[in-house]
Structure 1
Protein backbone atom coordinates (compact mmCIF):
# COMPACT_ATOMS: atom_id res chain seq x y z
CA UNK A 1 0.00 0.00 0.00
CA UNK A 2 1.28 3.48 -0.90
CA UNK A 3 0.70 6.26 1.63
CA UNK A 4 1.45 8.66 -1.21
CA UNK A 5 0.21 8.44 -4.80
CA UNK A 6 1.93 10.43 -7.54
CA UNK A 7 -0.52 11.26 -10.32
CA UNK A 8 0.52 12.65 -13.72
CA UNK A 9 -2.11 14.86 -15.37
CA UNK A 10 -1.79 15.17 -19.15
CA UNK A 11 -3.69 18.20 -20.48
CA UNK A 12 -3.44 18.00 -24.26
CA UNK A 13 -4.93 18.85 -27.62
CA UNK A 14 -6.44 15.93 -29.56
CA UNK A 15 -6.42 15.14 -33.28
CA UNK A 16 -9.96 14.73 -34.54
CA UNK A 17 -11.02 11.13 -35.15
CA UNK A 18 -7.45 9.90 -35.61
CA UNK A 19 -6.49 7.27 -33.00
CA UNK A 20 -3.15 6.46 -34.62
CA UNK A 21 -1.98 10.08 -34.56
CA UNK A 22 -3.23 10.62 -31.01
CA UNK A 23 -1.34 7.55 -29.83
CA UNK A 24 1.79 8.85 -31.53
CA UNK A 25 1.52 12.28 -29.91
CA UNK A 26 0.71 10.85 -26.49
CA UNK A 27 3.66 8.45 -26.76
CA UNK A 28 6.07 11.36 -26.41
CA UNK A 29 4.15 12.95 -23.54
CA UNK A 30 3.97 9.68 -21.62
CA UNK A 31 7.63 8.86 -22.27
CA UNK A 32 8.61 12.24 -20.78
CA UNK A 33 6.93 11.54 -17.42
CA UNK A 34 9.51 10.93 -14.65
CA UNK A 35 9.89 7.39 -13.40
CA UNK A 36 8.53 8.14 -9.92
CA UNK A 37 4.89 8.61 -10.99
CA UNK A 38 2.27 5.97 -10.16
CA UNK A 39 -0.72 6.89 -12.33
CA UNK A 40 -1.19 8.77 -15.61
CA UNK A 41 -4.53 10.36 -16.54
CA UNK A 42 -5.53 11.21 -20.12
CA UNK A 43 -8.66 13.15 -21.20
CA UNK A 44 -12.03 11.78 -22.29
CA UNK A 45 -11.99 10.12 -25.73
CA UNK A 46 -8.23 10.69 -25.88
CA UNK A 47 -7.90 8.70 -29.10
CA UNK A 48 -10.48 10.65 -31.11
CA UNK A 49 -11.91 13.74 -29.46
CA UNK A 50 -15.58 13.86 -28.40
CA UNK A 51 -17.12 12.48 -31.57
CA UNK A 52 -20.72 11.46 -32.24
CA UNK A 53 -19.47 9.34 -35.15
CA UNK A 54 -18.31 6.27 -33.22
CA UNK A 55 -18.17 4.01 -36.27
CA UNK A 56 -15.20 6.05 -37.53
CA UNK A 57 -13.02 5.42 -34.48
CA UNK A 58 -14.48 2.58 -32.40
CA UNK A 59 -12.20 -0.22 -31.23
CA UNK A 60 -12.64 -3.38 -29.23
CA UNK A 61 -11.12 -4.23 -25.85
CA UNK A 62 -8.44 -6.12 -27.78
CA UNK A 63 -7.86 -3.33 -30.30
CA UNK A 64 -4.83 -1.18 -31.09
CA UNK A 65 -5.39 1.46 -28.41
CA UNK A 66 -5.82 -1.07 -25.60
CA UNK A 67 -2.73 -2.91 -26.82
CA UNK A 68 -0.87 0.42 -26.82
CA UNK A 69 -2.07 1.28 -23.29
CA UNK A 70 -0.88 -2.09 -22.01
CA UNK A 71 2.51 -1.56 -23.64
CA UNK A 72 2.93 1.94 -22.22
CA UNK A 73 1.79 0.90 -18.74
CA UNK A 74 4.29 -1.96 -18.75
CA UNK A 75 7.13 0.21 -20.08
CA UNK A 76 6.54 3.00 -17.58
CA UNK A 77 5.49 0.73 -14.70
CA UNK A 78 2.55 3.08 -14.15
CA UNK A 79 -1.20 2.71 -14.50
CA UNK A 80 -2.79 4.76 -17.31
CA UNK A 81 -6.40 6.01 -17.35
CA UNK A 82 -8.59 7.71 -19.94
CA UNK A 83 -11.72 7.08 -21.98
CA UNK A 84 -12.10 5.92 -25.57
CA UNK A 85 -14.82 4.70 -27.93
CA UNK A 86 -15.42 0.97 -27.54
CA UNK A 87 -17.57 -1.28 -29.72
CA UNK A 88 -19.03 -4.26 -27.90
CA UNK A 89 -22.06 -6.50 -28.49
CA UNK A 90 -23.21 -4.29 -31.39
CA UNK A 91 -23.22 -1.21 -29.12
CA UNK A 92 -20.89 1.74 -28.62
CA UNK A 93 -19.62 2.90 -25.22
CA UNK A 94 -17.72 5.91 -23.97
CA UNK A 95 -15.55 3.72 -21.77
CA UNK A 96 -13.00 4.82 -19.21
CA UNK A 97 -10.26 2.28 -18.67
CA UNK A 98 -7.47 1.97 -16.17
CA UNK A 99 -4.66 -0.23 -17.46
CA UNK A 100 -2.12 -1.36 -14.84
CA UNK A 101 1.51 -2.40 -15.50
CA UNK A 102 0.75 -6.12 -15.22
CA UNK A 103 -2.10 -5.82 -17.73
CA UNK A 104 -5.09 -5.69 -15.38
CA UNK A 105 -7.88 -3.50 -16.81
CA UNK A 106 -10.63 -1.80 -14.84
CA UNK A 107 -13.42 -0.33 -16.97
CA UNK A 108 -16.26 2.13 -16.38
CA UNK A 109 -18.90 3.07 -18.96
CA UNK A 110 -20.02 6.71 -18.77
CA UNK A 111 -23.30 6.76 -16.87
CA UNK A 112 -24.62 10.19 -17.94
CA UNK A 113 -24.44 10.47 -21.71
CA UNK A 114 -24.47 14.10 -22.86
CA UNK A 115 -27.95 14.62 -24.30
CA UNK A 116 -27.20 18.17 -25.46
CA UNK A 117 -24.78 16.72 -28.03
CA UNK A 118 -26.92 13.64 -28.76
CA UNK A 119 -24.50 11.26 -27.07
CA UNK A 120 -27.43 9.23 -25.74
CA UNK A 121 -28.50 8.48 -29.31
CA UNK A 122 -25.25 6.76 -30.30
CA UNK A 123 -23.65 5.52 -27.08
CA UNK A 124 -25.05 3.14 -24.50
CA UNK A 125 -25.03 4.53 -20.98
CA UNK A 126 -23.31 2.61 -18.22
CA UNK A 127 -25.27 1.29 -15.28
CA UNK A 128 -22.59 0.44 -12.70
CA UNK A 129 -20.60 2.70 -10.43
CA UNK A 130 -17.03 1.41 -10.19
CA UNK A 131 -14.62 1.61 -7.28
CA UNK A 132 -11.26 -0.09 -7.73
CA UNK A 133 -8.10 -0.47 -5.68
CA UNK A 134 -4.70 0.57 -6.99
CA UNK A 135 -1.65 0.56 -4.72
CA UNK A 136 -3.93 0.64 -1.69
CA UNK A 137 -5.96 3.62 -2.94
CA UNK A 138 -9.70 3.30 -3.53
CA UNK A 139 -10.43 5.14 -6.78
CA UNK A 140 -13.75 6.19 -8.34
CA UNK A 141 -13.50 6.86 -12.12
CA UNK A 142 -16.13 9.06 -13.79
CA UNK A 143 -16.50 10.81 -17.15
CA UNK A 144 -17.29 14.43 -18.05
CA UNK A 145 -21.10 14.96 -17.82
CA UNK A 146 -21.16 12.71 -14.73
CA UNK A 147 -19.70 15.74 -12.93
CA UNK A 148 -23.09 17.48 -12.94
CA UNK A 149 -24.79 14.67 -10.98
CA UNK A 150 -23.53 14.54 -7.38
CA UNK A 151 -25.70 11.61 -6.28
CA UNK A 152 -23.80 9.30 -8.65
CA UNK A 153 -20.46 10.29 -7.14
CA UNK A 154 -21.62 10.37 -3.51
CA UNK A 155 -18.88 8.88 -1.37
CA UNK A 156 -20.69 6.01 0.33
CA UNK A 157 -17.73 3.68 -0.27
CA UNK A 158 -15.14 5.81 1.56
CA UNK A 159 -13.06 6.07 -1.59
CA UNK A 160 -9.85 8.12 -1.55
CA UNK A 161 -9.70 9.60 -5.04
CA UNK A 162 -12.36 10.78 -7.49
CA UNK A 163 -11.24 11.17 -11.10
CA UNK A 164 -13.08 12.89 -13.96
CA UNK A 165 -11.82 12.80 -17.56
CA UNK A 166 -13.45 15.24 -19.91
CA UNK A 167 -13.93 17.15 -23.15
CA UNK A 168 -15.58 20.12 -21.36
CA UNK A 169 -15.98 23.16 -23.65
CA UNK A 170 -14.62 26.60 -22.82
CA UNK A 171 -18.07 28.19 -22.94
CA UNK A 172 -19.14 26.28 -19.80
CA UNK A 173 -15.77 25.97 -18.06
CA UNK A 174 -16.90 28.01 -15.03
CA UNK A 175 -19.23 25.14 -14.15
CA UNK A 176 -16.35 22.66 -14.53
CA UNK A 177 -14.22 24.67 -12.09
CA UNK A 178 -16.97 25.03 -9.50
CA UNK A 179 -18.25 21.46 -9.65
CA UNK A 180 -14.82 19.81 -9.48
CA UNK A 181 -14.05 21.70 -6.28
CA UNK A 182 -17.50 20.95 -4.89
CA UNK A 183 -17.10 17.21 -5.51
CA UNK A 184 -13.87 17.24 -3.50
CA UNK A 185 -15.42 19.15 -0.60
CA UNK A 186 -18.70 17.27 -0.31
CA UNK A 187 -17.05 13.84 -0.58
CA UNK A 188 -13.98 14.69 1.54
CA UNK A 189 -11.76 13.17 -1.11
CA UNK A 190 -8.99 14.10 -3.48
CA UNK A 191 -10.61 15.08 -6.77
CA UNK A 192 -8.78 15.33 -10.09
CA UNK A 193 -10.30 16.54 -13.36
CA UNK A 194 -8.43 16.17 -16.67
CA UNK A 195 -9.75 18.18 -19.60
CA UNK A 196 -8.44 18.73 -23.12
CA UNK A 197 -7.42 21.95 -24.89
CA UNK A 198 -7.73 23.12 -28.49
CA UNK A 199 -10.45 22.95 -31.16
CA UNK A 200 -12.30 19.80 -32.15
CA UNK A 201 -13.75 18.77 -35.51
CA UNK A 202 -16.98 20.62 -34.74
CA UNK A 203 -15.03 23.81 -34.00
CA UNK A 204 -15.77 23.67 -30.27
CA UNK A 205 -13.03 25.23 -28.16
CA UNK A 206 -11.63 23.60 -25.03
CA UNK A 207 -9.66 25.55 -22.44
CA UNK A 208 -8.28 22.84 -20.19
CA UNK A 209 -8.68 23.95 -16.56
CA UNK A 210 -7.50 20.51 -15.49
CA UNK A 211 -7.06 20.58 -11.72
CA UNK A 212 -6.44 18.61 -8.55
CA UNK A 213 -8.16 19.43 -5.24
CA UNK A 214 -7.64 18.10 -1.76
CA UNK A 215 -10.36 17.06 0.71
CA UNK A 216 -10.98 20.69 1.72
CA UNK A 217 -11.20 21.91 -1.87
CA UNK A 218 -7.74 23.45 -1.93
CA UNK A 219 -6.06 23.58 -5.35
CA UNK A 220 -2.97 21.37 -5.51
CA UNK A 221 -1.68 21.83 -9.07
CA UNK A 222 -0.14 24.71 -11.03
CA UNK A 223 -1.39 23.93 -14.52
CA UNK A 224 -1.96 26.82 -16.91
CA UNK A 225 -5.57 27.01 -18.00
CA UNK A 226 -5.46 26.64 -21.78
CA UNK A 227 -2.05 25.21 -22.65
CA UNK A 228 -0.80 21.70 -23.28
CA UNK A 229 1.00 20.62 -20.13
CA UNK A 230 1.85 17.68 -17.90
CA UNK A 231 2.08 17.97 -14.12
CA UNK A 232 2.57 15.45 -11.34
CA UNK A 233 0.65 15.96 -8.10
CA UNK A 234 1.35 14.00 -4.93
CA UNK A 235 -1.65 12.79 -2.93
CA UNK A 236 -1.13 11.76 0.69
CA UNK A 237 -3.31 9.37 2.67
CA UNK A 238 -2.59 11.18 5.94
CA UNK A 239 -4.40 14.28 4.63
CA UNK A 240 -7.57 12.22 4.16
CA UNK A 241 -7.23 10.60 7.57
CA UNK A 242 -6.50 13.88 9.35
CA UNK A 243 -9.50 15.81 8.10
CA UNK A 244 -12.02 12.97 8.02
CA UNK A 245 -11.23 12.16 11.65
CA UNK A 246 -11.09 15.81 12.71
CA UNK A 247 -14.25 17.01 10.96
CA UNK A 248 -16.32 13.80 10.68
CA UNK A 249 -18.51 15.29 7.93
CA UNK A 250 -18.96 11.96 6.13
CA UNK A 251 -20.42 10.47 9.32
CA UNK A 252 -23.44 12.74 8.82
CA UNK A 253 -24.10 11.84 5.18
CA UNK A 254 -27.61 10.75 4.20
CA UNK A 255 -28.44 7.14 3.55
CA UNK A 256 -30.16 6.49 0.24
CA UNK A 257 -30.84 3.84 -2.39
CA UNK A 258 -30.13 4.74 -6.00
CA UNK A 259 -32.87 3.51 -8.34
CA UNK A 260 -31.50 2.81 -11.80
Structure 2
Protein backbone atom coordinates (compact mmCIF):
# COMPACT_ATOMS: atom_id res chain seq x y z
CA UNK A 1 0.00 0.00 0.00
CA UNK A 2 1.27 3.48 -0.90
CA UNK A 3 1.96 5.37 2.33
CA UNK A 4 1.90 8.70 0.50
CA UNK A 5 -1.06 10.93 -0.26
CA UNK A 6 -0.69 12.84 -3.53
CA UNK A 7 -2.64 16.10 -3.52
CA UNK A 8 -3.45 18.92 -5.96
CA UNK A 9 -4.40 22.38 -4.69
CA UNK A 10 -6.37 24.52 -7.16
CA UNK A 11 -5.49 28.17 -6.59
CA UNK A 12 -7.81 30.14 -8.82
CA UNK A 13 -9.69 33.31 -9.59
CA UNK A 14 -13.43 32.96 -8.87
CA UNK A 15 -16.31 34.34 -10.92
CA UNK A 16 -18.49 36.41 -8.61
CA UNK A 17 -21.81 34.72 -7.72
CA UNK A 18 -21.68 32.60 -10.89
CA UNK A 19 -21.71 28.84 -10.15
CA UNK A 20 -22.09 27.86 -13.81
CA UNK A 21 -19.02 29.83 -14.91
CA UNK A 22 -16.97 28.54 -11.98
CA UNK A 23 -17.84 24.91 -12.62
CA UNK A 24 -16.80 25.35 -16.24
CA UNK A 25 -13.58 27.08 -15.18
CA UNK A 26 -12.62 24.39 -12.69
CA UNK A 27 -13.52 21.61 -15.10
CA UNK A 28 -11.06 23.10 -17.57
CA UNK A 29 -8.36 23.43 -14.90
CA UNK A 30 -8.79 19.84 -13.78
CA UNK A 31 -8.06 18.59 -17.29
CA UNK A 32 -4.47 19.70 -16.58
CA UNK A 33 -4.16 16.99 -13.93
CA UNK A 34 -2.77 14.03 -15.83
CA UNK A 35 -0.79 12.24 -13.11
CA UNK A 36 -2.32 10.04 -10.41
CA UNK A 37 -3.73 12.28 -7.67
CA UNK A 38 -5.49 11.14 -4.49
CA UNK A 39 -7.06 14.41 -3.35
CA UNK A 40 -8.02 17.62 -5.18
CA UNK A 41 -8.68 20.70 -3.02
CA UNK A 42 -10.70 23.74 -4.14
CA UNK A 43 -11.05 27.08 -2.27
CA UNK A 44 -13.83 28.23 0.05
CA UNK A 45 -17.11 29.09 -1.73
CA UNK A 46 -15.45 28.08 -4.99
CA UNK A 47 -18.62 28.51 -7.07
CA UNK A 48 -19.46 32.06 -5.96
CA UNK A 49 -16.68 33.82 -4.11
CA UNK A 50 -17.25 34.91 -0.50
CA UNK A 51 -20.74 36.33 -0.97
CA UNK A 52 -22.98 37.54 1.82
CA UNK A 53 -25.98 37.48 -0.54
CA UNK A 54 -26.67 33.77 -1.02
CA UNK A 55 -30.20 34.62 -2.08
CA UNK A 56 -28.63 35.68 -5.40
CA UNK A 57 -27.78 32.01 -6.03
CA UNK A 58 -30.47 29.68 -7.32
CA UNK A 59 -31.47 27.19 -4.64
CA UNK A 60 -30.62 24.13 -6.73
CA UNK A 61 -27.06 25.26 -7.49
CA UNK A 62 -25.74 23.56 -4.38
CA UNK A 63 -27.01 20.17 -5.48
CA UNK A 64 -25.81 20.79 -9.03
CA UNK A 65 -22.31 21.51 -7.72
CA UNK A 66 -22.39 18.42 -5.51
CA UNK A 67 -23.28 16.30 -8.55
CA UNK A 68 -20.49 17.99 -10.49
CA UNK A 69 -18.04 17.11 -7.70
CA UNK A 70 -19.23 13.50 -7.67
CA UNK A 71 -18.85 13.20 -11.44
CA UNK A 72 -15.33 14.65 -11.36
CA UNK A 73 -14.26 12.54 -8.39
CA UNK A 74 -15.25 9.41 -10.30
CA UNK A 75 -13.65 10.64 -13.52
CA UNK A 76 -10.35 11.50 -11.81
CA UNK A 77 -10.52 8.56 -9.39
CA UNK A 78 -9.65 11.06 -6.68
CA UNK A 79 -11.35 12.66 -3.70
CA UNK A 80 -12.52 16.24 -4.22
CA UNK A 81 -13.16 18.83 -1.53
CA UNK A 82 -14.06 22.52 -1.19
CA UNK A 83 -16.86 24.61 0.30
CA UNK A 84 -19.87 26.25 -1.33
CA UNK A 85 -23.05 28.15 -0.64
CA UNK A 86 -25.64 25.51 0.22
CA UNK A 87 -29.32 26.04 0.98
CA UNK A 88 -31.20 23.54 3.12
CA UNK A 89 -34.53 23.88 4.94
CA UNK A 90 -34.64 27.63 4.21
CA UNK A 91 -31.21 28.12 5.83
CA UNK A 92 -27.89 28.93 4.18
CA UNK A 93 -24.64 27.16 5.03
CA UNK A 94 -21.00 27.63 4.10
CA UNK A 95 -20.68 23.88 3.63
CA UNK A 96 -17.60 21.86 2.79
CA UNK A 97 -18.12 18.65 0.88
CA UNK A 98 -15.52 15.89 0.91
CA UNK A 99 -16.42 13.65 -2.01
CA UNK A 100 -14.78 10.24 -2.33
CA UNK A 101 -13.85 8.69 -5.69
CA UNK A 102 -16.92 6.43 -5.58
CA UNK A 103 -19.25 9.44 -5.21
CA UNK A 104 -20.07 9.08 -1.52
CA UNK A 105 -19.43 12.17 0.58
CA UNK A 106 -19.38 13.77 4.01
CA UNK A 107 -19.85 17.40 5.02
CA UNK A 108 -18.61 20.07 7.40
CA UNK A 109 -20.42 23.36 8.08
CA UNK A 110 -18.12 26.26 8.92
CA UNK A 111 -17.99 26.63 12.70
CA UNK A 112 -16.58 30.16 12.95
CA UNK A 113 -18.60 32.41 10.69
CA UNK A 114 -16.76 35.63 9.84
CA UNK A 115 -18.48 38.31 11.91
CA UNK A 116 -16.38 41.13 10.39
CA UNK A 117 -18.24 40.56 7.11
CA UNK A 118 -21.58 39.68 8.74
CA UNK A 119 -21.36 36.00 7.80
CA UNK A 120 -22.93 35.07 11.15
CA UNK A 121 -26.08 36.97 10.16
CA UNK A 122 -26.47 35.09 6.88
CA UNK A 123 -25.13 31.56 7.31
CA UNK A 124 -25.86 28.97 9.98
CA UNK A 125 -22.81 28.01 12.03
CA UNK A 126 -21.67 24.40 12.22
CA UNK A 127 -21.39 22.58 15.54
CA UNK A 128 -19.26 19.49 14.80
CA UNK A 129 -15.76 18.81 13.50
CA UNK A 130 -15.38 16.31 10.70
CA UNK A 131 -12.78 13.53 10.61
CA UNK A 132 -12.29 11.92 7.22
CA UNK A 133 -10.59 8.54 6.90
CA UNK A 134 -9.05 8.31 3.44
CA UNK A 135 -6.27 6.11 2.08
CA UNK A 136 -4.73 5.54 5.48
CA UNK A 137 -4.80 9.23 6.45
CA UNK A 138 -7.12 10.90 8.93
CA UNK A 139 -8.02 14.36 7.62
CA UNK A 140 -9.65 17.26 9.49
CA UNK A 141 -11.11 19.79 7.00
CA UNK A 142 -11.93 23.31 8.23
CA UNK A 143 -12.85 26.61 6.58
CA UNK A 144 -11.04 29.97 6.44
CA UNK A 145 -11.85 31.93 9.65
CA UNK A 146 -11.61 28.64 11.61
CA UNK A 147 -7.84 29.09 11.20
CA UNK A 148 -7.82 31.80 13.88
CA UNK A 149 -9.17 29.44 16.57
CA UNK A 150 -6.54 26.90 17.65
CA UNK A 151 -8.67 25.23 20.31
CA UNK A 152 -11.24 24.18 17.68
CA UNK A 153 -8.46 22.71 15.54
CA UNK A 154 -6.58 21.07 18.42
CA UNK A 155 -5.43 17.59 17.49
CA UNK A 156 -7.23 15.54 20.12
CA UNK A 157 -8.34 13.00 17.48
CA UNK A 158 -4.84 12.05 16.25
CA UNK A 159 -5.52 13.29 12.74
CA UNK A 160 -2.71 13.36 10.19
CA UNK A 161 -3.78 16.30 8.02
CA UNK A 162 -5.37 19.63 8.91
CA UNK A 163 -6.91 21.21 5.82
CA UNK A 164 -8.23 24.76 5.35
CA UNK A 165 -10.10 26.07 2.32
CA UNK A 166 -10.32 29.85 2.23
CA UNK A 167 -11.07 33.23 0.71
CA UNK A 168 -8.38 35.02 2.78
CA UNK A 169 -7.72 38.60 1.60
CA UNK A 170 -4.36 40.19 0.82
CA UNK A 171 -4.86 42.70 3.63
CA UNK A 172 -4.37 39.98 6.27
CA UNK A 173 -2.33 37.40 4.36
CA UNK A 174 0.57 37.62 6.84
CA UNK A 175 -1.74 36.13 9.46
CA UNK A 176 -2.69 33.35 7.03
CA UNK A 177 0.98 32.46 6.50
CA UNK A 178 1.82 32.50 10.19
CA UNK A 179 -1.23 30.60 11.41
CA UNK A 180 -0.97 27.79 8.86
CA UNK A 181 2.59 27.14 10.01
CA UNK A 182 1.61 27.37 13.66
CA UNK A 183 -1.28 24.92 13.25
CA UNK A 184 1.13 22.39 11.69
CA UNK A 185 3.68 22.73 14.49
CA UNK A 186 1.31 22.70 17.45
CA UNK A 187 -0.76 19.78 16.13
CA UNK A 188 2.18 17.79 14.72
CA UNK A 189 0.26 17.26 11.50
CA UNK A 190 0.47 18.33 7.91
CA UNK A 191 -1.37 21.62 7.45
CA UNK A 192 -2.79 22.52 4.04
CA UNK A 193 -4.22 25.92 3.14
CA UNK A 194 -5.93 26.56 -0.20
CA UNK A 195 -6.76 30.19 -0.96
CA UNK A 196 -8.09 32.00 -4.02
CA UNK A 197 -6.54 34.84 -6.03
CA UNK A 198 -7.95 37.85 -7.86
CA UNK A 199 -10.48 40.54 -6.93
CA UNK A 200 -14.01 39.66 -5.83
CA UNK A 201 -17.29 41.44 -6.48
CA UNK A 202 -16.81 43.65 -3.44
CA UNK A 203 -13.34 44.81 -4.48
CA UNK A 204 -11.37 42.66 -2.03
CA UNK A 205 -8.04 41.42 -3.38
CA UNK A 206 -6.68 37.91 -2.85
CA UNK A 207 -3.09 36.85 -3.49
CA UNK A 208 -3.17 33.14 -2.85
CA UNK A 209 -0.31 31.92 -0.64
CA UNK A 210 -1.79 28.42 -0.81
CA UNK A 211 0.68 26.21 1.00
CA UNK A 212 1.49 22.88 2.58
CA UNK A 213 3.46 22.57 5.82
CA UNK A 214 4.80 19.32 7.23
CA UNK A 215 4.69 18.11 10.84
CA UNK A 216 7.72 20.24 11.73
CA UNK A 217 6.21 23.37 10.20
CA UNK A 218 8.49 23.24 7.16
CA UNK A 219 6.93 24.57 3.96
CA UNK A 220 6.80 21.87 1.27
CA UNK A 221 4.59 23.68 -1.27
CA UNK A 222 3.61 27.32 -1.89
CA UNK A 223 2.20 29.56 -4.62
CA UNK A 224 1.16 33.16 -5.27
CA UNK A 225 -0.25 32.72 -8.78
CA UNK A 226 -3.15 31.03 -10.53
CA UNK A 227 -2.02 27.44 -10.85
CA UNK A 228 -2.33 23.88 -9.61
CA UNK A 229 0.02 23.19 -6.71
CA UNK A 230 1.11 19.59 -6.17
CA UNK A 231 2.43 18.00 -2.99
CA UNK A 232 3.08 14.58 -1.52
CA UNK A 233 2.18 13.84 2.09
CA UNK A 234 4.16 11.07 3.76
CA UNK A 235 2.68 8.85 6.45
CA UNK A 236 6.21 7.81 7.34
CA UNK A 237 7.18 11.43 8.03
CA UNK A 238 4.27 11.79 10.46
CA UNK A 239 5.00 8.57 12.34
CA UNK A 240 8.76 9.06 12.49
CA UNK A 241 8.46 12.61 13.80
CA UNK A 242 5.77 11.82 16.36
CA UNK A 243 7.69 8.80 17.64
CA UNK A 244 10.81 10.92 18.12
CA UNK A 245 9.08 14.03 19.44
CA UNK A 246 6.19 12.90 21.62
CA UNK A 247 4.74 16.37 22.14
CA UNK A 248 1.16 15.23 21.51
CA UNK A 249 1.38 13.05 24.63
CA UNK A 250 1.38 16.26 26.67
CA UNK A 251 -1.49 17.99 24.90
CA UNK A 252 -4.57 19.32 26.68
CA UNK A 253 -7.75 17.31 26.30
CA UNK A 254 -10.77 19.43 25.42
CA UNK A 255 -14.32 18.24 25.95
CA UNK A 256 -16.85 19.78 23.54
CA UNK A 257 -19.92 18.25 25.22
Q: Same fold (TM over 0.5)?
A: yes
Q: C-alpha displacement at 1:59, in angstroms?
A: 4.3
Contact persistence 2:181–2:213 (CA under 8 A): yes
Q: Partner of 2:101 in structure 1?
A: 101
Aligned: 1:29 with 2:29 = yes
CA distance in 1, matches of 2:256, 2:34: 41
Q: Partner of 1:145 in structure 2?
A: 145
CA distance in 1, matches of 2:23, 2:2: 29
Contact persistence 2:62–2:87 (CA under 8 A): no
Q: Partner of 1:249 in structure 2?
A: 247
Moved more, 32-41 or 111-120: 32-41
Moved more, 98-107 or 250-259: 250-259
User: Which of the residues 198, 214, 235 maps onto 2:233?
Assistant: 235
Q: Partner of 1:71 in structure 2?
A: 71
Change (3 A) 1:29 1:52: same
Q: Partner of 1:20 in structure 2?
A: 20
CA distance in 2, matches of 1:209, 1:73: 25
Q: C-alpha displacement at 1:34, in angstroms?
A: 2.3
| RMSD (Å) for aligned C-alpha atoms | 1.3
- C-alpha deviations, 1:75-101, integer Å up to 9, x for none? 110111000000011100000111111
Contact persistence 1:60–1:88 (CA under 8 A): no
Change (3 A) 1:184 1:76: same
CA distance in 2, matches of 1:120, 1:67: 27
Q: Secondary structure at the match of 2:146?
A: helix
Moved more, 151-160 or 56-65: 56-65
Change (3 A) 1:182 1:89: same
Contact persistence 1:58–1:86 (CA under 8 A): no
CA distance in 2, matches of 1:17, 1:205: 16
Change (3 A) 1:222 1:146: closer
| Residue pairs, 1:109-120, within 5 angstroms | 109-120=109-120
Can you give the 5+ residue segments of structure 1 that lack an aligned partner in the other structure? none
Q: Secondary structure at the match of 2:106?
A: strand
Change (3 A) 1:169 1:222: closer
CA distance in 1, matches of 2:71, 2:231: 24
**What TM-score do you get using the length of structure 1 for normalisation?**
0.96
**What TM-score do you get using the length of structure 2 for normalisation?**
0.97
Q: Partner of 1:189 in structure 2?
A: 189
Change (3 A) 1:68 1:113: same
Q: Secondary structure at the match of 1:211?
A: strand
